Chain A
Amino acid sequence: MVNSNIDALGIIFPNSYDNRVPELVSERLMASIPFASRYRMIDFLLSSMVNCGIDNISVIVRKNYRSLMRHLGSGRTWDLTRKNGGLNIVPPYAEKTVKVYSGRVEALASILEFLKAQKEKYVIIADTNIAANFDFNAMFKSHIESGADVTIAYKKEEIPYGFMNLQATTTSELYYTLNLEEGRVKEIQINPKEYGPQNFSMNIYLISRELLIEKIADAYVRGYAYFERDILAPQLDTLKVYGYEFTGYSARISDIKNYFDENMKLLDDENLDALFGPSPVYTKVRDDNPTRYIGAAKVKNAMVADGCVIEGEVENSILFRGVKVGQGAKVKNCILMQDTVIEGNAEVEYMITDKEVTITSGKSLKGSDSFPVFVAPYRTV
C-alpha cells in the first residue's frame, strides 16, 4: 500500500449545498445526512480518502455540526485516530469573524496557518453532497501527467432539475460546469442552464499546498469569497487547470426528490455494487442485532440494515438501522431512517421519515412519486 499513498491532505466542506435540502438539514448538515440504509454522506468521501492513503483530513464545519461531531467521534471508524494527521474538525471562531464563512476562501483563509504547518505536498478539497467510491490515486496520476496546477474532478451528467430551477440570487450555493479543450479547462460556467450531459464539476480539487496558500492569501486580502468564481475562473489563462473525468458511480444530492431517487436507485444490485464494490465504505458502528423477520412479514425489493424488526409488509423501500414495522403495517416506496417505528396496521407510501419518527397504529399516509412526503426527526404522527 505504501507506494499508492498520495502525498496529500484532505479538506472537506460538510455544509456545502445544505440549503438544497432544508428538510434534511434542520438538525444536521449535508455531511451527516443518512444515505443508503446505514451510512452518512461524509462516509463515502472519508472512506475514499482513507482507502487512497490520505490520512490527514480537516473538516471545516460551519453550522449545525453537532450530529456530524457525534458521527465522526475521534475518527476511529475511518482509522483516522492518528498521532500524525488524522481527523481534524475545525469549528468556526465566533470572535474572529462576525459571521461564519460564506465561501471557501474565507474558510481556507481561517486555516492558513494550519496549512502552512503541514508537510503534505498536495491538498484535496471536496464537498460531501456526492456519494461515490472515488479513486483519488487515479485523479492524482492524471494531475501529474497533465502537469496541471489545479485538477478539477467532473462527471458527464445532466444538471439535476433541482439545480436548474435554482435562482442564483436566492442562494449562495453555486454549481459549475467546465468547458474543456484537450483536458484543459478553458472556461468555468457558473450555474449554467443547459440541458443534456455537461462536464459537471464534482467540486473535488487537487492543488499543491503551496499554490493554494498563495492563492488564498491573495484572494482573502482582495475580499474574494469563492474559490471557483473568484480564483479559478478569472485565471484560467495563467493557471493550468485540468479536468479529470470521473466515470464511476455517483449519487449527487440536489434536492429532496433526488435524495429519494438516489436512495431508491440502490435497490438495483448493479448500482449497489458499483457504489460499494471498488473499496470498502466505513461508518460508525452501532452494534445492532441482525434484522428479525417475524410471523407474517413480507418483504420484496428492499434494502434493510441491521437492527430492524419486521412483522409487516415492506416493498420497494430502504430501511435504516433499528426500524420497526409492526404487524399488519404496510410500507411501500419509502425511506425510513434509523429507529423509525411504523406501528401495527399503519400504511405508508412514498414517505421519507427522518430518525426516530413514529407513525402510530392505523394511520395511513401517502406521498406521491413526484412528491415524497417528509416527516421531521422525532415526530410522532
Chain B
Amino acid sequence: MAKEMIAMILAGGQGSRLYALTQKLAKPAVPFGGKYRIIDFPLSNCVNSGIDTVGILTQYQPLVLNEYIGNGQPWDLDRLHGGVHVLPPYQQASGSDWYKGTANAIYQNLSFIERYDPQYVIILSGDQICKQDYNDFLKFHKEKGAEFSVAVMEVPWEEASRFGLMVADSDSRITEFQEKPKNPKSNLASMGIYIFNTDVLKKYLIEDEADPDSENDFGNNIIPNLLKDGRKMYAYRFNGYWKDVGTISSLWEANMEVMDPEHSGIDLFDKNWKIYSRNSGKTGHKVGADAMVENSMITDGCRIDGTVKHSILFAGVKVEKGAHVEDAVVMGNTTIKAGATVTHCIVAENAIIGQNAVVGAMPTDDEKGVATVGPGVYIGDNAKVGPNAMVNNNVKDGEEQW
C-alpha cells in the first residue's frame, strides 16, 4: 500500500562544535530538555503529523542512536508496514560508499523510498529543536502545486548572511537561492526541511549522482539545479520555535528556554503535541529534607539533597548535601558530590563531580563561557573547571582546568 508521505531524517551530523558531548555519539543523540534526545523532536513531529514511515540516515558514531531508536516503540513507530528504520551506509555490488553529502545519503536509499511508493518525501534534519506540524507544510505544498517546498524562518536582516536564504515573490515562489551571501536579498532562512514530489526528488538525485563535480548536497547542488530548470519551488514560512543547537552555548541556551515556555516559544508541556522519548524507568525523584529546588526541571530517579536553582536535571542525577547547582544542564546519572558547585555549564551523562569541586562560573560582563564536562568524566575532589573549559578527560583531585 502506498504512503502519501514518508520522512527521511538526516542524522549523520557529527556536531563537531559540541566536541565533548559528541565524542561517542552523533549530534541527534545528544540529550536535551531533561528526558529527551534531539532526534525525539523530528520523530515526535512525524508521529504527531501522522507520518508513520521514517528513515533515519546515520553515519557518524551511530551506536547510541541505533540503540536508542531500537524498534521505534517509544514513538509508536513499530509498524507492520512502515515504521522507523535506521539506514546506515551499506555495501552494494558496485562497492560501498560513505554518504558523501546530504543528497547522496538520500540517493543511496532511493530503494527504501520506492518500497513505500509515496507521493511526497519530507526531508528533515535530525539535529534541530523544533515543534512543527508537517501536515500544514504538506497542505501548503499541495495548495501551491509545488514540486519542491522548503520551510523557512524569518531571521533578523543583520544575521541573514549567516544562513542559506530563499528569495521569494509575493506568492512565496522561490526565485533565487543565496548561500550565506554578503548582500542578502532576503531574510528567509532555509531550515533544511524540504518536501519533494517523489518523482522530482528521484530525477534530481539521479542526475546529481551522475555529476562528478557535485558535492551531493541539497543546499549547494540540488536546490540550484531545481532553480535552473525553473521548477515550481515554494518557500513555506514557519514562525514557531526553531533552534539548531550546534554549539555548546546554543545547546545550553535552548535547555534554559525549555524552562520558560511562557516566553521562549518552546513548550514541551503541550499535551496536544507531546514529545516522546525512551523512558528511564526510574522511580519518582526525591527531594530531601534539607534540599532546596527553585525554578528547575527535575526528572525521575533524581535524588536531591543540595541546592538546585534554575537548572535541568536529567534522570537519575544525584545532588548531595551542600552541593550547589545553578543555571546548569546536568545529564543522566551524573553525581554531584557534597559541597561541589556546578554553575552555568553542561555536565554530560554518568559524570562524577567530586566533593567541593567547582565547575563553571556564573557569567560576568566579560566572561560568559559555558563550561562543559564530557560523559563519564571524573572531576576530582576540590578540582576546578573554568567557565570556558571543555573537559573530556578526568581531572585529578585539586587540579584545575581552564
- Seen from chain A, the residues whose Cβ lies within 8 Å of a Cβ on chain B are 36-39, 76, 267, 269, 272, 276, 280-283, 285, 287, 289-295, 297-306, 309, 318-320
- Contact pick for B299, options A294, A300, A306, A318, CB 8 Å: A306
Structural contact, A287 and B277, CB atoms closer than 8 A: yes
**Contact (Cβ within 8 A) B284 A303:** yes
**Looking at chain B's contact residues, is the secondary structure mostly helix, strand, loop, or mixed?**
loop
Chain B minimum-CB-distance residue to A305: B284
| Chain B residue at minimum C-beta to C-beta distance from A321 | B284
Given known contacts A287-B276, A290-B35, A291-B297, is B291 in contact with A303 (CB within 8 Å)?
no
Which residue in chain B gives the minimum CB-CB distance to A39?
A: B283
- Inter-chain CA distance A320–B281, complex, in Å, is 14
A-chain residues with CB within 8 Å of residue B289 when the two chains form the complex: 300-301
**Which 7 pairs from chain A and chain B are nearest by CB?**
A37-B284, A290-B34, A305-B284, A290-B299, A290-B297, A301-B289, A299-B287
| Residues of B with C-beta under 8 A to A267 | 286
- When the two chains form their complex, are residues B279 and A293 in contact, meaning their CB atoms are under 8 A apart? no
In the complex, A280→B301 CA distance in Å? 12
Name the interface size band of chain B.
35 or more
| Residue B73 at the chain A interface, CB threshold 8 Å | yes
Option from B74, B283, B284, B293 in Cβ contact (under 8 Å) with A297:
B293
Contact B281 A289, beta carbon cutoff 8 Å: no
- Whether A272 contacts B286 by the Cβ 8 Å rule is yes
A36 touches B35 (CB 8 A): no
Q: Enumerate chain A residues within 8 angstroms of B287, measured Cβ to Cβ.
A: 299-304
Q: Give Cα A282 to B289, complex, Å.
A: 27
Q: In the assembled complex, how far is the CB of residue B130 from the closest CB belonging to chain A, in whole angstroms?
A: 17
Report the separation of the CA atoms of residues A318 and B287 in the bound assembly, to the nearest whole angstrom: 10
Q: How far is the CA of A301 from the CA of B287 in the complex (A)?
A: 5
CB closest chain-A residue, reference B311: A293
Judged by a CB distance under 8 angstroms, whether B370 is at the interface is no
Is residue B288 within 8 Å, beta carbon to beta carbon, of the partner chain? yes
Contacts of B274 in A (CB 8 A): 287
* B74 and A291 form a contact (CB under 8 A): no
Q: A293-B295, A302-B286, A303-B287 are in contact. List 15 more A-B contacts (CB 8 A).
A: A38-B284, A38-B300, A39-B283, A281-B281, A287-B279, A289-B34, A290-B312, A291-B285, A292-B297, A293-B297, A295-B295, A300-B290, A302-B287, A303-B283, A318-B284
Q: Using a CB-CB cutoff of 8 Å, which residues 250-285 of chain B contact chain A?
A: 259, 268-269, 274-277, 279, 281, 283-285
CB within 8 Å of A: which B284-326 residues: 284-300, 303, 312-314
| Closest residue of B by beta carbon distance from A309 | B269
Within 8 A of A (CB), among B54-110: 73-74
CA distance A293 to B298 in the complex (A): 8
Residue in B closest to A301 when the chains form the complex, CB atoms: B289
Q: Is the CB of B284 within 8 A of A306?
A: yes
Contact B299 A291 (CB under 8 A): yes
Of the listed residues A36, A287, A289, the one surrounded by the most CB atoms of chain B closer than 10 A to its CB is: A289
B12-66 interface with A by 8 A CB criterion: 33-35
Distance of A280 Cα from B313 Cα, bound (Å)? 21
When chains A and B are docked, how far (Å) is the Cα of A272 from the Cα of B287?
A: 13
Measured between beta carbons, the chain A residues less than 8 angstroms from B294 are 293, 297
**C-alpha gap A282/B300 in the complex (Å):** 13
A377 nearest CB across to chain B (Å): 19
Assuming the A-B contacts A294-B295, A304-B298, A305-B300, are A289 and B283 also in contact, with contact meaning beta carbons closer than 8 angstroms in the complex?
A: no
Contact of A293 among B277, B293, B299 (CB under 8 A): B293
Q: A76-B73, A269-B286 are in contact. Are A291 and B281 (CB under 8 A)?
A: no
Q: Name the residue in A76, A287, A291 with the highest tally of chain B Cβ atoms < 10 Å from its Cβ.
A: A291
